[in-house]
Structure 1
Amino acid sequence: MPKKTHGARRRARAPRRSWTVPTVVVGCLVLAGATTAAYATAWGPFANLRPAEAVDPQAVDEARAFLADWAGGTFEQAAGRTDDPDTARRTLSSFVSGLDIGKSELTAGKATQDRDGTVTVAFTAGLTVTDLGRWEYASAIPLKRDAAGAWKVNWRLPLVHPHLSSTHKFRLDRKEGTAPPVLDRAGTRLSGATYPLLAPALADLAGSRGKDTGAIHLVNRDSGEIKGTETTFGAPAQGDPGQPVRTTIDSAWQAAAEQAMAKNLDGKNGALVALRIDNGQVLAVANAPGDGFNRAFSGTYAPASTWKIVTSAALMLNGAVGSPDTVVDCPASFTAGKKFTNVADAEHRGATFLKDFAVSCNTAFVSLTGKLGNDELGKVAGSYFGIGQKWSTGIPSYDGSVPAPAGASDKAAAMIGQGKVLANPLLMASVTATAVSGTFQQPVITQDAKATATAGKLPESVVTALRRMMRATVTEGTGTVLAGLPGEVGAKTGTAEVGGDSANNGWLVAHRGNVAIACVVEEGKTGGGSAGPVIKEILTAVPSDPS
């Protein structure tokens, strides 16, 4: 998977525009020749079209080329395919710029031919109005032969949209949303100045309540009088637009997370989520850099060996591993489609499953690949951990992916959190909470969020085993960075390969009392060495559970 992803920035917007200013916007064209467009031919300038047994394919090709040029923003080229190039170029350019269209999907449909030889190609338009939404409609392109016998688009305003005419045009009216204040669980206002690593999440929190609304109106060209509304975007804000967003963030945990990441990341990118185990409420979210996107909620990372929590649950649920004391040999290498190895080619002959988990033995887990069905790991992830369902956290989130394996090596890689398995700190903090409590509580970050994802309860025997193995990871395994902390802290480390020349991503998930935490450090090399000090400092700074 790619090492980093980048979030899109919102562009500055004018409050009201009409389509008069030329610009070039890159879009995409979808051509579906077999699709019949929903164009009503019983009205408008193309009302008398009659299907013919055969339509000249060159005419259809010219219509498709015109749509491709229009969608791609090459209006000069599109206009050159018409019988009125100057008017066509000006109209297309001002239509796209004035309505703030950022992407155009134009799909060719059914072609018909009239008795006078005019060919008409129906099409559907799906236009994305920047920061508002999608506008869909149907129209059609008439084509006639010119004096030289070449097909040309017979230019007329209604081909752009059937309601355009010499007396009526479109106008985009936009109303910008008012970003409300965002409060922590105690009612204190949160800001990026106080918590810079919370800023990406704050942008999502404020943006979710302060969205723009708008409409495309049909207006009289001379008077500007509104004659109709083509489409609307967004719902008007209900009540006071300044109504605060009340979050579940705990200022003590957030401050500790900010300080720990600023001190220990050494300029690397990373993300962290801490949440309550009993109800899934998010206590802290930290993203580095603070001016990036919300990696903690929307990042897509290979979870590496932290995923062995889910794999272990699946193996115990189906009886492939009886208990943590079951012997599962840990060889230096194991081949399952391809050769898998351990860090430094380590091996632990005659190891128990608990030992395999604690020292993060890849080969032991890979050797059990055949014990699970192709889709069993994904089913356990969804049925018990809520992964792959749609989570309603209060802001956008990526809720994990465990696709069915394509082959033996793909399946083996999934066992150790590599291959196509994708997660983020939000998801892995939730996995940790579910593992040690047995009950999936879908995470939420706003107090009014209504959880939509559900899952079954893990058997008590599986929960007891997972807690024991995570504790052993701290006392005698790869998570000893947390060994000196008071309380029965449990953890799991992960070292995720990202490919190319980039260093591995480092992961660590941990639990103590009623709190679960997950941290990833990009190019952190190892989980214990990079994410470990971050979580250790947080648990040291906040020694007690939230009330």
Structure 2
Amino acid sequence: MRSGAKVAIVGGVFVVVASGVGYGGYNLWNGITGGSGGTTGMSGSDERKTGPVTSEEVTSTARDFLAAWAAGEPDRASQLTNNPVDAGPALAGFREEAKVSAVTITPGAPTGSGTSVPFTVKATVTYEGVSKPWTYTSELTVVRGLTTGRALVDWKPTVVHPKLTSKTATIRTGGAKTGEIQAVDRKGRVLTAEKYPSLGPVLAQLRERYGSTAGGRPGVEVFVDPGVEGAPDTTLLTLAKGEPGRLETTIDADVQAAAEKAVARHGTASVVAVQPSTGAVRAVANSSPNGFNAAFEGKKMPGSTMKIVTAALLLEKGLVKADQAAECPPTAMYHGRTIGNLDGFSMNGATFGKSFARSCNTAFIKKIDDVKETEGDDSGLAREAREVFGIGLEWKTGIRSVDGSVPEATGGEAAAQYIGQGTVQMNPLNMASITATAKAGVFKQPYLVAADVDDRTFATAERKLPASVARQLRDMMRLTATASYGTAVGPMASVRGSDKGAKTGSAEVDGQATSDSWFTAFADDLAAAAYVEGAGHGATAAGPLVAQVLNAD
């Protein structure tokens, strides 16, 4: 039996305190609500309310729900939600699986439109004789039930805890599945999520993958079990510390710090830095609030940054040369699809190198038929991406990563691919690697943890860039970064490297008013690529972000 439950007004705020297990919930419930259900719609009246919930309904529904939850009455609490089937087990698990032995829940004042109620949970977790306090905040929203007209809590797993972001996830307390790790950068400096917030998801994956082999000893934790095979747990509270095992990564703490500051200026941004000579990842950062590592796992159209690959294809086939004239009309049509240049500019008679530096779309589209003649089909770009730049191979970076995609396409879709639109899918990791390949002349698979740590086999490209092609490609990227007409000259002016090159990009996304901003560049032996959602031209948002990262090396 529980040792007691009390309801009180503390500082004008309703507070429910309950402790122990095996609660006498019926009497407690009646004591709180007067046995009538109050304004929650449980009075037995057949009258069905309509319209927005009132402030009184919000307050009383939130109060009664939190009271039942705190008292250890998941069945009653779930009936105050619009999804009792899911809410009941989740609320029961809070006690049974998370091992919560006592809890106080304190609601705050309604926020927003007045239907959301923040609250603070102060719990005690007890496991095998060890107890520890646990405090966090969450929020609930009150809505009107569609069929009953009652005011109900709009059920989401995040009501229980903000880290419960899916139906399969549960909070558990017990021995950790894997030992802790102490991840260090390439110079032995300790990397923590507190100091480098973007590394939180990365460190969680590293622990999941290497915690059992890095020599550490598991501790006792409260953690979110995602309920998805291969997905890492998220630690919420440590009851008893384990012994961490040391894991060396390729991260450079200085470059990582710069990347963290750079992405923080944008709502949704990602950046990756890679060393061209080795493939070692020096930084990975995201500003996305949901913890998704878009820098490694995202799938977005890269816009004109893809022209690095397209230019390599055209150069390899002998269809263009950096210092020879190329057509650059205002528009070009291919299989019924018209593609134009920014603001309709044209540069007939200009070199292909200048067309690359100014990002002339039509100079690339005009060569598609010539590529088709030499290749025999429309798949030349897909082959170039895979055979030279390693796109579409199985990269084994040390954590989850997506290695890009250039599907075989025909007609107008093939034209869109030439300028990084359509079905091309990339992320900053892929674009940083493409830039690193252009700089080094050969693909080096990016990696975060050395291959010999777990005997991984790195992906290798079928062939490297011919020396003359690599030289021309680098020269064109240098023009883009340094020539007065280059689209990347603004951001790259501040980059200190003695040898630097770049490519800008903007990807037009259906249903999105402003294009995504892309930028990729190298400076000496560091390459970086960034993506900023809905930020416009590549030099405007993503460019300064990359420049800041390159200057940190």
Q: TM-score range by the shorter chain?
A: 0.5 to 0.7
- SS of equivalent to 1:492: strand
SS of corresponding position for 2:284: strand
> Which residue number corresponds to residue 473 of structure 1?
480
Whole-angstrom distance in 2 between the partners of 1:186 and 1:434: 25
TM-score calculated relative to the size of structure 1: 0.60
Letter aligned with residue 314 of structure 2 = L
Q: Does 1:386 align with 2:390?
A: yes
Aligned partner of 1:195 in structure 2 is 196
2:378–2:408 Cα contact (<8 Å) kept: yes
Q: Do 1:444 and 1:451's aligned partners in 2 also have CA atoms closer than 8 Å? A: no
Of residues 492, 495, 499, the one that matches 1:488 is 499
Do the aligned partners of 2:480 and 2:489 also contact (CA within 8 Å) in 1?
yes
Deviation track 1:433-472 (CA, whole Å, cap 9, x = no partner) reads 1111111110110133644210122111011101110010
Contact 1:342 1:362 in 2 (8 A): yes
Match of 1:431 in 2: 434
Mapping for residues 91-240 of structure 1, pairs under 5 Å: 176-210=177-211
Matches within 5 A, 1:36-55: none
RMSD: 2.5
Partner of 1:510: 521
The structure-2 alpha-carbon separation of the partners of 1:335 and 1:289, relative to structure 1 and needing over 3 Å to count, comes to same
Q: Which ranges of structure 1 fall in alignment gaps of 5 or more residues? A: 1-93, 99-172, 213-232, 235-239
| Structure 1: distance between partners of 2:467 and 2:316 | 11
Indicate if the aligned counterparts of 1:249 and 1:283 stay in contact, CA closer than 8 A: yes
Match of 2:128 in 1: none
Amino acid at match of 2:209: S
The CA distance in 1 between the partners of 2:179 and 2:400, in whole Å, is: 19
Alignment correspondent of 1:9? none
Q: Counterparts of 1:421 and 1:468 in 2: how far apart (Å)? A: 25
2:330 equivalent in structure 1: 332
Say which SS state the counterpart of residue 428 (structure 1) adopts: helix
Following superposition, the deviation at residue 382 of structure 1 comes to 0.9
Whether the 8 Å contact between 1:315 and 1:371 is mirrored in structure 2 is no
Correspondence for 2:469: 462
Q: Which AA in structure 2 matches 1:465?
A: Q
The answer to whether 1:416 aligns with 2:419 is: yes
Count residues in correspondence: 344
AA of the residue aligned to 2:488: G
CA drift at 1:207? 2.5
Give yes or no for contact 2:435–2:521 (8 Å, CA) kept in 1.
yes
> Which amino acid letter does the alignment assign opposite residue 473 of structure 2?
L
More divergent stretch after superposition (201-210 vs 382-391): 201-210
- Structure 2 residues without counterparts, runs of 5 or longer: 1-88, 94-173, 214-228, 231-241, 372-376
What is the aligned counterpart of 1:244 among 219, 222, 246? 246
CA displacement at 1:539 relative to structure 2: 3.0
Is the CA contact (8 Å cut-off) linking 1:197 and 1:290 kept in structure 2? no
Q: What do the CA deviations read for 1:226-282 (whole angstroms, capped 9, x no partner)?
A: xxxxxxx99xxxxx98423221100111111112222xx3x3201100111111000
Kindly, what percent of the aligned residue pairs are identical? 42
**Change beyond 3 A, Cα 1:307–1:211:** farther
In the aligned structure 1, how far is the partner of 2:304 from the partner of 2:476?
13
1:537 maps onto 2:548 in alignment: yes
Give, as a single letter, the amino acid of the residue that structure 2 aligns with 1:419. G
SS of aligned partner of 2:283: strand
| Conserved 8 A contact 1:493-1:507 | yes
Give me the whole-angstrom Cα distance separating, in 1, the residues matched to 2:327 and 2:488. 21
Amino acid across the alignment from 1:478: T
Distance verdict in 2 for CA 1:484–1:270, change over 3 Å: closer
Deviation at 1:431? 0.5
Task: Name the amino acid aligned to 2:302.
Answer: P
In the alignment, does 2:449 pair up with 1:446? yes
Q: SS where residue 527 of structure 1 aligns?
A: coil
Confirm or deny: 8 A CA contact 2:301 2:425 kept in the other structure.
yes
Aligned-residue offset at 1:376: 1.2
DSSP 3-state at the match of 1:434: helix
Q: Which residue of 1 aligns with 2:127?
A: none
* Amino acid paired to 1:310: V
Once the two structures are TM-superposed, the CA of residue 200 in structure 1 deviates from its matched residue by 2.6
Q: Is the contact made by 1:442 and 1:451 (CA closer than 8 Å) also made in structure 2?
A: no
Opposite residue 381 of structure 2, the aligned amino acid is L
TM-score (norm: length of structure 2): 0.59
1:538 Cα shift? 2.6
Cα distance in 1 for residues equivalent to 2:211 and 2:513: 38
Match for 1:527: what amino acid? G
> CA 1:175/1:249 → structure 2, altered by over 3 Å: closer, same or farther?
closer
Q: Following the alignment from structure 2 to structure 1, what is the Cα–Cα distance between the partners of residues 415 and 186? A: 42
Which deviates the most, 292-301 or 241-250?
A: 241-250
Question: 1 or 2 for the larger relative contact order (CA 8 Å, sep ≥6)?
Answer: 1
512 and 415 in structure 1: CA distance in 2 versus 1, 3 angstrom threshold = same
* Displacement after TM superposition at 1:425 (Å): 0.7
Is residue 302 from structure 1 mapped to residue 301 from structure 2 by the alignment? Answer: yes
Question: 1:349 Cα deviation (Å)?
Answer: 1.6
Quote the offset at 1:291 in angstroms.
Answer: 4.3
Structure 1 residues 428, 451: closer, same or farther in 2, change over 3 A? farther
Q: Indicate the residue corresponding to 1:71 in structure 2.
A: none
- The 8 Å contact of residues 199 and 291 in structure 1, kept in 2 or not, is answered as no
Distance 1:472 1:451, change over 3 A: farther
Cα offset, 1:211, TM superposition:
8.0
Asked whether the 8 Å contact 1:491–1:511 carries over to 2, the reply is yes
**1:180 and 1:434, CA in 2 relative to 1: closer, same or farther beyond 3 A?**
same
Cα distance, 1:413–1:428 mapped onto 2, change above 3 Å: same
The residue type paired with residue 449 of structure 2 is T
Deviation at 1:210? 4.3
Q: 1:333 to 1:514 in 2, by over 3 A?
A: same
Distance 1:350 1:183, change over 3 A: same
- Answer yes or no: is the 8 Å Cα contact 1:200–1:290 preserved in 2: no
